[in-house]
Amino acid sequence: MDCHQTFKCSECSVRNSSLFAGLSPEELEQLNACRSIQHFKRRERVFTQGETALGVHCVHRGKLRLFQSSESGKEQTIRLIAEGGVVGTESLLTEKTYTVCAETLEDAEVCFLEKKTFFDLLGNSPHLARKLLQSLATEIQAQEETISTFSQKSVRERVAQTLLALNDRFGSQAENGSCLRIPLKREEIATLSGTVLESAVRCLSEFRDDGFIDLVGREIYVVAPDKLRAIAEGKTVNALRR
């Protein structure tokens, strides 16, 4: 990881999709003067579970994976962060250590804002405070919905729903369907689906054999999202091929 400045916050291409959208020119200048830009290689740690939270991180380029690691080394993927996403706010507000690890899924550029500067901005900007509350509330609602929904679904339905969610956020149109432009390991898809590796791999193979997805190396192409949606809803679906 290395740090240097390459652009101004007022010129940031992802600012309008971040927590810092809507800041005044003066606030943007304060933000620009105090933040550092960190460059990470693929699968490099941004911060580690148990470390003291020193500030917040905003993803300018690339994607992050947040996960918890047990004493035995088993990892549970919690959520994925795209460009414009801000992480670390929960630990700052609760004045606790990071409860998750954050690592890059690809080469990434992440802006870091120290704790004091973030709280100064928060105290002087009602708009930023509202945005933060909205962001935290949205995340809580999403987690509650996932827990409620997953508890009522089979493994097959959960894997289908995970693929649909990934397609909505990271899908990019390709010749043979929508390619999930996010380099996830099969184990990570499994934990996002609340299941074990073997079950997730079996479901992916079945979806491929039925013609709903294509698997090309580590890449996943969603060919029939309507079929996956029907599966996620617990409906009986006929295969497109066998």
**What local confidence, expressed as pLDDT, does residue 217 receive?**
86
Spatial CA neighbour of 87 closest among 68, 108, 64, 119 = 64
State the DSSP H helix or E strand holding residue 68, giving kind and residue range, or none if neither: strand 64-69
- Closest by CA to 207, choosing from 172, 242, 171, 168, is 242
- Statement: residue 108 has pLDDT above 90: yes
- CA dihedral sign of residues 138, 143, 149, 154: positive
Residue 121, CA distances (Å) to 29, 57, 117, 151 in order:
11, 15, 6, 40
CB distance 162 to 237 below 8 Å: no
Domains in the chain, please, with CATH? 2-148 (2.60.120.10), 153-232 (1.10.10.10)
Lowest-confidence region among 18-32, 35-49, 58-72, 186-200:
18-32
Average pLDDT, the chain: 91
pLDDT, tens digit, 9 for 90 and up, residues 130-178: 999 999 999 899 888 888 888 889 999 999 999 999 999 999 988 878 9
Cβ pair 204, 220 in contact under 8 A? yes
Over residues 47-53, the mean pLDDT reads: 95
Q: What is the mean pLDDT of residues 81-100?
A: 93
Asked if 195 and 202 touch (Cβ cutoff 8 Å), the reply is no
Note the pLDDT of residue 8. Answer: 83
Question: CA dist 148 to 41, 100, 155, 217, 228, Å?
Answer: 36, 22, 14, 33, 19
pTM score of the predicted model: 0.88
Residue 9's contacts (CB-CB under 8 Å, 6 or more residues apart) are 15, 20, 28, 29, 31, 32, 35, 111
- Which residues, 6 or more positions from 142, have their beta carbon under 8 angstroms from its beta carbon? none
Task: Give 120's contacts (C-beta < 8 A, 6+ positions apart).
Answer: 30
CA neighbor of 97 nearest in space, from 57, 47, 45, 49: 49
